[in-house]
Amino acid sequence: MKIKGVDMNQIIQERKTFRNPSIYEKLIQFCDINEFGTNYDPQIYDPLKWDKSSYYDALAKAQKADMDQREKERKERTKVEFLIGTAKKATNGSSTEEELKKRKSKWDQKSTTATGTKGTVISAFGTLPKKPKM
């Protein structure tokens, strides 16, 4: 091929059948091409010395396992426990029912208005008592 001046790259680029992307795998198998090969001397660079754990898919698995472990540890550190409320025990010996009866809300109080001040009682008969002048 060198004597005739045939350029294999040019032949491949000109043929329409070689433009098919699926032919790449067939071409590699037919020509027995090492995809990871290099023209460098093995003392300078040897791509075959790397083990399977150095490739991206194995690195991605290791990274995912590490991230899952970290997420699990983070969730355990930030776990919040909720306590169920319990009834308050009386300190002076009275029961909680008695304490509830003693408590009064603003609605239970008599003679107050909506504003919370004492209202003026107007009798049905008679007049209002006048305030003494000072």
Tens place of pLDDT per residue across the chain (134 aa)? 778 888 888 887 888 877 787 888 888 888 888 887 888 888 888 877 888 888 888 899 999 999 999 999 988 887 766 767 666 655 555 556 677 677 776 666 665 455 555 666 666 666 666 777 76
Give me the numbers of helices (H) and strands (E) for the chain, helices first please.
4, 0
Residue 96 contacts residue 88 (beta carbons within 8 Å): yes
The answer to whether the predicted template modeling score (pTM) of the entire model surpasses 0.75 is no
Strand, coil or helix: 118: strand
CA distance 97 to 69: 52
pLDDT at residue number 52: 82
pLDDT at residue number 67: 96
Q: Is 23 exposed, middle or buried (0-12, 13-18, 19+ CB in 10 A)?
A: middle
Residue 96 contacts residue 90 (beta carbons within 8 Å): yes
